Structure 1
Amino acid sequence: MIETFQLSKVYSRQEVLSGLNLRCEAGQSIALIGPNGAGKTTLSKIILGQVIASSGRVEVNGIDINRGPDYRRELGYMPQVSRFPVRMKTHQLFKLMRRLRPDVGEGEYDTELYEELEIDGMKNKALGALSGGMRQRVSAALAFYFNPRVLILDEPTAGLDPLANEVLKAKIRKCVREQRLVITTSHILNDLEEICNHVIYLLEGKVHFAGSIDELQERTGETRLNRMVVSLIKNKPARAQYQ
């Protein structure tokens, strides 16, 4: 569903991404991990169309994303920090988003998270008055609301209470069973271990590892994701072809 070809990005002579060749398929739940400054956010923003690559290209469903913005209809995005209009009420936000997506019919909305995270209970509250955890719930519900085939989630469980955390993780697992593609960036490896079946580990803008959890387990001899990652860093195995 998403493929990158020699993707690179340079900021002020600093190469943030260097020749990334990645292939991400439907039914994969990918943990996009790496230290701060590894290029995770830049890669996500290029896919989302928020940043322009310096060279190389990205294809979504075989179509170069530079050909136009229509591919974004396939994407759902949950940022680490949501910036909503502070005076707008929650129900007004969802009403506005529906107006911005006239291509989605009334019966096509995915309201599962909206209901399970009890967004209706805060519909008349101003977004600026919501706590961080409540804003995170709204952001999660919005990311899935238009039934996207690809989801890009940035630290999605940060700030969620335990119940909401489990609801979101169950939803992600369901999306994978439905053959959607989910890409999650997080430093909470325990959460990633529960929802991901593949790993992309970026280091200094390059692919240090890309493959399935099973492949990583076999390579490192470890059974827990956090220990796999530590072993990966220490041993610096050769890069895997992601496909």
Structure 2
Amino acid sequence: MVKVKNLHKKFGKIEVLKGINIELKKGQVVAILGPNGSGKTTLIKSILGLVIPTSGEIYIKGESATHSWDYRKYIGYMPQTAVFPENLTLKELINMLVDIRKEGYNPNIKESFIQGFKLHQYMDKKLKTLSGGTKQKVSALITFMFDPELYFLDEPTVGLDPISSSFLKDKIREQVERERLVVLTSHIMSEVEEIADYIIFLLEGVVYVQGSVKEIIENSGEKNLERAIAKLMERGYGS
């Protein structure tokens, strides 16, 4: 579903991505991991079209995304920190987005998220009055309610209470059964181990290692993903 070939990105003299080659297939949850400054955000924003690569190719569903924007209709993006028009109510925001996007809108999915996150009580409240955790729920709601084929979720459970976090993780795993592709980043390794199928670990702008969660844990000789990733980082920095 997503193919990245020899992707490079420079910001001035700083080379952030150094020839990334990855292929992401539908029907799985892929976690893109790595320390701060490893290139995770730049890679994801390049695929989303928010950053223009210096060189290389990106294909979405077999079509080049380098000079096209039409592919964005297949994508749902949940940023780590969403910014909403503060003077709109939640109901007004939802109606506005449905009017703008239309394609893919699924009222049943919308209602399931409103119920699962208990958002009914906030529908007539202005977005500027909502807590950070509630805004995170709103961000998840508007990402999923258009039923995209490809999800990019940046730290999706940050700020969520345990019940809401469990609900969202269940919804993420449901997408695998529906042959969707979910790409996420997270600093919570127990969460990644719970919901991800495949890991791409970046270090200083290159793919340092990739494989299934099980493979990475077994190859590290450690007992869980958190310790396996810590060992990868130690090896990568020559410690």
Q: TM-score, normalised by structure 2?
A: 0.94
1:65-80 residue pairs with structure 2 within 5 A?
65-80=65-80
- Per the alignment, do residues 17 and 69 of structure 1 end up closer, same or farther by CA in structure 2, a change over 3 Å counting? same
Please give the alpha-carbon distance, in whole angstroms, between the structure 2 residues aligned to 1:58 and 1:3: 6
1:56-135 residue pairs with structure 2 within 5 A?
56-104=56-104, 110-135=110-135
Residue 110 of structure 1 and its aligned partner are, at CA, apart by: 5.0
SS in 2 for 1:46: helix
Unaligned runs of 5+ in 2: none
1:126-147, Cα deviation, whole Å (9 max, x unpaired)? 0010000000000011111100
Q: What's the counterpart of residue 40 of structure 1?
A: 40
SS in 1 for 2:80: coil
Which letter maps to 1:177? E
1:73-108, Cα deviation, whole Å (9 max, x unpaired)? 111111110110110100111101101113336667
Please give the alpha-carbon distance, in whole angstroms, between the structure 2 residues aligned to 1:107 and 1:33: 33
Please give the alpha-carbon distance, in whole angstroms, between the structure 1 residues aligned to 2:37 and 2:106: 41
Please give the alpha-carbon distance, in whole angstroms, between the structure 2 residues aligned to 1:108 and 1:162: 24
Q: What's the counterpart of residue 241 of structure 1?
A: none
Please give the alpha-carbon distance, in whole angstroms, between the structure 1 residues aligned to 2:55 and 2:76: 25
Mean CA deviation greater in 98-107 or 132-141: 98-107
- Asked if residue 30 in structure 1 is aligned to residue 58 in structure 2, the reply is no
Query: CA RMSD, aligned part only?
Result: 1.5
- Tell me if the contact between 1:110 and 1:147 (Cα under 8 Å) persists in the aligned partners: no
- Tell me if the contact between 1:111 and 1:141 (Cα under 8 Å) persists in the aligned partners: no
Please give the alpha-carbon distance, in whole angstroms, between the structure 1 residues aligned to 2:114 and 2:57: 35
Please give the alpha-carbon distance, in whole angstroms, between the structure 1 residues aligned to 2:51 and 2:74: 18
Residue 176 of structure 1 and its aligned partner are, at CA, apart by: 1.3
Please give the alpha-carbon distance, in whole angstroms, between the structure 2 residues aligned to 1:200 and 1:50: 21
SS in 1 for 2:158: coil
Q: TM-score, normalised by structure 1?
A: 0.93
Residues matched between the structures, number: 236
Percent identity reads 40
Q: What's the counterpart of residue 2 of structure 2?
A: 2
Unaligned runs of 5+ in 1: 237-243
Please give the alpha-carbon distance, in whole angstroms, between the structure 2 residues aligned to 1:196 and 1:49: 24
1:41-94, Cα deviation, whole Å (9 max, x unpaired)? 111111111110110011011111124211111111111101101101001111
